[in-house]
Amino acid sequence: MNYLNAANQVINNKHFKYTDEIVGEGSAFLIFETKLEEIYINGVDYIIWNEEQKLTELRGFLFDHSRH
């Protein structure tokens, strides 16, 4: 459940926005950025769907730039 709470904080804030997308036949990469307090985060949602256009897989990748 902690993961879902963290994901909600990333997505559900005024700084969250998708900045680019790469769409294929049955998958897409959605690139996003956001800010939590003073931490800038960008990441990718990787989405896969089947022939019936139903979601079959969703993966989220986050990159925290405050550590560099």
For residue 32, what are its two tokens? 């996003």
Distance CA 46, CA 60 (A): 6
Prediction pTM value: 0.75
Query: Does residue 47 surpass a pLDDT of 80?
Result: yes
User: What's the confidence (pLDDT) of residue 3?
Assistant: 63
Residue ranges of domains in the chain:
2-67
40 vs 3, more confident: 40
Distance CA 10, CA 37 (A): 11
The pLDDT assigned to 11 comes to 72
Work out whether strand 55-64 and strand 27-36 pair parallel, antiparallel, or are unpaired.
Answer: unpaired
CATH architecture entry for 2-67: Roll (3.10)
pLDDT digits (tens, 9 = 90+) for 17-36: 999 999 999 999 999 998 88
- Cα(21)–Cα(6) distance, integer angstroms: 23
What is the full DSSP assignment across 23-58?
Answer: E-SSEEEEEEEEEETTEEEEEEEEEEE-TTS-EEEE
